[in-house]
A and B are shown apart, each in its own frame.
Chain A
Amino acid sequence: MANVLRRAFSTPLGGMIRYEVLLHWRQRGLLVVLFTMILLGVLTVFSLSNSGLIQRIIDQLSMDVVSRSQTVIADGQTTIQTITQTPDTPKNPAYISTQAFSVTAWPIAYIMLLILVPMVAADAIARDRKYRVTDLLDSTPLSSALYLFGKILGLFAAEVGLLLVVMILYGGLWRVAVGAFDIPSYIALWLVSTLPMLFINPSLIVLLASGQNGRRSALLIGFAACFAMFFFLGIGLSHMRTVGTPALWDYVNPVHPLVFEYFGYAPVNVSLQSITIGDAWLSWLIGAGELALVAWAAWAWLNRRKANS
């Protein structure tokens, strides 16, 4: 295993990934994000638990027959309907506890990671230009594609470490404050919902800012992009909670509100339960396509820049 790793890291791509991971953690930005997630986790889990909200949600999810009043908009008219439904989720208390986590603590952690990590990472490529590393790299056989790929994978590898710590921390806090939960579904929640987001969204912003000459302009673009993401998330959530079924824009929306709604809101909202895991995966697939498009544009730009210099 050690030999395999050594050989992997001795390749150009492996070496880039290794140094990017070290650089991202050494820059202290990810450390500050981690510290924030720790504080947020403690505050969120314990305050939600003390307020009784988590227990109410667990009780709601545990009910055999669920009867809720829902506001329904149809044919331009708003009516209040009473919907009775027998949940098809298993009544395993541990699984219910995980579901309660996904509608209480997880959404806050997701939004914080969605906004903070891209802001910290936005100057990943512009930093190289500032320290004249780009000039050095241009004199090596390293291609632009490999360079961009290494940057994205290096950032993702650094984020995986962050996510791992956040997962363990939040799980531990939930266990202490609320009780036992179903670990496989808990891990699946983070892997399906947050891991793809950490790959796609920060990479998008790094690539969008890759054409900037200085760190400052790259960070301004990062901040503007984060603001835009917050804005698009709001539009997506508002749209789906009004209409109830996803439209084309909800799949294409770069903030993937479908994923957020599926995990963070649909379990306790009957009107959103038309959203399936397939919709979430389709949203990720489209997001990966968007990332590929932006990566291609960044690669073309870098090549043009190299040719002109």
Chain B
Amino acid sequence: MDTSSQLESLSDLLFRLTHDRELGRVLAWLIVALLSISVIVAIAQIAVSVWRKRWPLAWRRSLIALVIPGALTAVALVLLMLTRILTADLNLVQIVTVSAPLIMGIHAALILSLDDEPLIEVLLAAPRPFVWIMAERLIAMLATYSVITAIGTLAAALITGHTDTIGTVIAIWLPAAVLLTGIGLTFTLRTRQPALSLVVVGIVWGVMTFGGNVISILWPILWPLLLFPTLNSDGFALNRQLILLIGSGLILRAGYVLSDTEAILLNGAD
């Protein structure tokens, strides 16, 4: 077989692989299985460590820091829903489900910028593990924005009359929010540059929101990774599980990185 026919058969093979939805399903199930085990083990370890020693939580500080961003988010969602200027093709419910994960991801990129954390040496020297700071800020952030988004979803559903889809709508934005949160947090901790992390979150969101249909046409094997799949489409549940597990895995990984005090202190930005 000469080189050109070898290249042709290779490109043929690649084309068939990238257009094989069933292969995508099998790979997705494998990844879901592996991630599920990892996430369950990690959560079990966290539960054991919390059971052994319960540290006090600074909820008030974390929640106060969210007042202005939360208020701005609510205003932004209301403005988008009222005007529907940029979102003419989306209904009110879709506006909320598409915008909320982006806002959460952006905020997650900013909640733990190690180079901007005041008195980080003092925090690291404290007996309470540093990862608890990440946990309390993350939980406060997710809880606050989830409440705002849930209220927005309910309001949009009541206005449009599609109240029977509330559960499915939550299944759309929640995994997407967890994934973008995980991406924002991981990138900020890894690069120590929240600006870069913001851009990455924005790009992932933008590509998935505006290019999701194109991706599913060009590379059907990637359908399990779509951030906003069509409601009730084939494999919807598997897609949501995979997105949620990847996001959870990234968040747990970020927590694991924070357990290394020396790395936090010494691996500063250039």
Given A120-B195, A123-B195, verify A220-B86 contact (CB < 8 Å): no
B85 contacts A214, C-beta separation under 8 Å: no
A215–B194 touching, CB < 8 Å: yes
What is the bound-complex CA distance between A101 and B113, given in angstroms? 41
B72 within 8 A of A: yes
Q: CA of A216 to CA of B113 in the docked complex: distance in angstroms?
A: 8
A223–B195 Cα gap in the complex (Å)? 10
- Distance between A257 CB and nearest chain B CB, rounded to angstroms: 11
Chain A residues with Cβ under 8 A from B76's Cβ? 227
Q: B199: CB under 8 A from chain A?
A: yes
B270 touches A36 (CB 8 A): no
Q: Is there a chain B Cβ closer than 8 Å to A26's Cβ?
A: yes
**B86/A230 in contact, CB under 8 A:** yes
Per-residue interface assignment for chain B, residues 188 to 202, with 1 indicating a CB less than 8 Å from any chain A CB and 0 otherwise: 000101111011101
Q: A116 to chain B: which residues have CB within 8 Å?
A: 199, 202-203
A238, B211: Cα distance in complex, Å = 22
Residues of A within 8 A of B113 (CB): 215-216
Given A28-B196, A123-B195, A219-B194, decide whether A36 and B69 contact each other with a Cβ distance below 8 A. no
Contacts of A28 in B (CB 8 A): 191, 193, 196
Q: What 1/0 mask marks residues of chain A from 18 to 29 whose CB sits below 8 Å from any chain B CB?
A: 000000001111
Query: Do B270 and A216 touch across chains, with their CB atoms under 8 A apart?
Result: no
Hey, which bits of chain B sit against chain A, CB under 8 A? Answer: 69, 72, 76, 79-80, 83, 85-86, 106, 110, 113, 115-116, 191, 193-196, 198-200, 202-203, 211, 214, 218, 270
Residue from B80, B195, B214, B270 in contact with A219 in the complex, judged by beta carbons closer than 8 Å? B195
Question: Which residues of the other chain, A, contact B214 by a CB distance below 8 angstroms?
Answer: 43, 47
* Set of chain B residues within 8 Å of A54, measured between Cβ atoms: none
Docked-complex contact B110 and A29, CB < 8 angstroms = no
The answer, among B72, B83, B115, B199, for a CB contact under 8 Å with A235, is B83
Q: Is the CB of B195 within 8 A of A27?
A: yes
* A200 CB–B CB distance under 8 Å: no
- On whether the beta carbons of B194 and A216 are closer than 8 Å, the reply is yes
A32 at interface by CB-CB < 8 Å: yes
Interface size class of A (residues with CB under 8 A): 20 to 34
Main secondary structure on B side of the interface with A: helix
Quick check: A43 and B211 within 8 Å, CB to CB? Answer: yes
Question: Given A216-B110, A233-B86, 6 other A-B contacts at CB below 8 A?
Answer: A26-B270, A27-B196, A29-B199, A36-B199, A116-B199, A231-B86
Q: For the complex, is A208 an interface residue (Cβ under 8 Å from B)?
A: no
Partner of A122, one of B195, B196, B203: B195
- A250 to B86 Cα, complex, angstroms: 17
A121, B83: Cα distance in complex, Å: 29
A47 / chain B contacts, CB cutoff of 8 Å: 214, 218
From B85, B191, B203, A234 is in contact (CB under 8 Å) with B85
**Docked-complex contact B198 and A223, CB < 8 angstroms:** yes
Give the Cβ gap from B228 to chain A, nearest Cβ, in Å: 18
Q: Pull 5 A–B residue pairs with CB atoms less than 8 Å apart, ordered by A.
A: A29-B195, A115-B202, A116-B199, A215-B194, A223-B198
Shortest distance from the beta carbon of A176 to any chain B beta carbon, whole Å = 18
Evaluate contact between B200 and A32: CB separation under 8 angstroms. yes
Whether the pair B116, A119 counts as a contact (CB closer than 8 A) is no
CA distance A36 to B193 in the complex (A): 17
* B199 touches which of A119, A215, A216, A234 (Cβ 8 Å): A119
Contacts of B69 in A (CB 8 A): 220
Give CA–CA (A216, B107) in the complex, Å. Answer: 10
Which chain A residues lie closer than 8 Å to B218 at the CB level?
47
Q: Is A306 an interface residue (CB 8 A)?
A: no
Counting CB contacts under 8 A, is A130 at the interface?
Answer: yes
Question: Could you tell me which residues of chain A, from 58 to 80, have a CB within 8 Å of some CB in chain B?
Answer: none
Contact of A29 with B85 in the complex, beta carbons under 8 Å = no
Contacts of A220 in B (CB 8 A): 69, 110
Q: Which residues of B contact A294 (CB under 8 A)?
A: none
State whether A214 and B79 are in contact (beta carbons under 8 Å apart), knowing that A26-B270, A119-B202, A122-B195 are contacts in the complex: no
Residues of A within 8 Å of B106, CB to CB, are 223
Distance, CA A115 to CA B83, complexed state (A): 20
Residues of B within 8 A of A26 (CB): 270
Whether a CB of chain B sits under 8 angstroms from the CB of A53 is no
CB distance from B154 to the nearest CB of A (A): 23
Asked if A33 is an interface residue, CB under 8 A from chain B, the answer is: yes
**Cα distance A197–B1 in the bound complex, in angstroms:** 54
Cross-interface CB contact of A36 among B191, B198, B203, cutoff 8 Å: B203
Q: Which residues of A contact B83 (CB under 8 A)?
A: 231, 234-235
Residue of B nearest to A122 (CB): B195
Q: Mark A25-47, 1 if CB is under 8 A from B, else 0.
A: 01111001100100000010001
Return chain B residues, CB-CB under 8 Å to A230: 86
Q: Does A224 contact B (CB under 8 A)?
A: yes
Chain B nearest CB: distance from A289 CB in Å?
25
Give the CA-CA distance A17 to B90 in the complex, in Å. Answer: 44
Across the A-B interface, give the 3 residue pairs with the lowest CB-CB distance, nearest first. A234-B85, A234-B86, A216-B110
With CB as the reference atom, state the residue of chain B lying closest to A121.
Answer: B195
CA A38 to CA B80, docked complex, whole Å = 30
For B211, list chain A residues within 8 Å (CB): 43
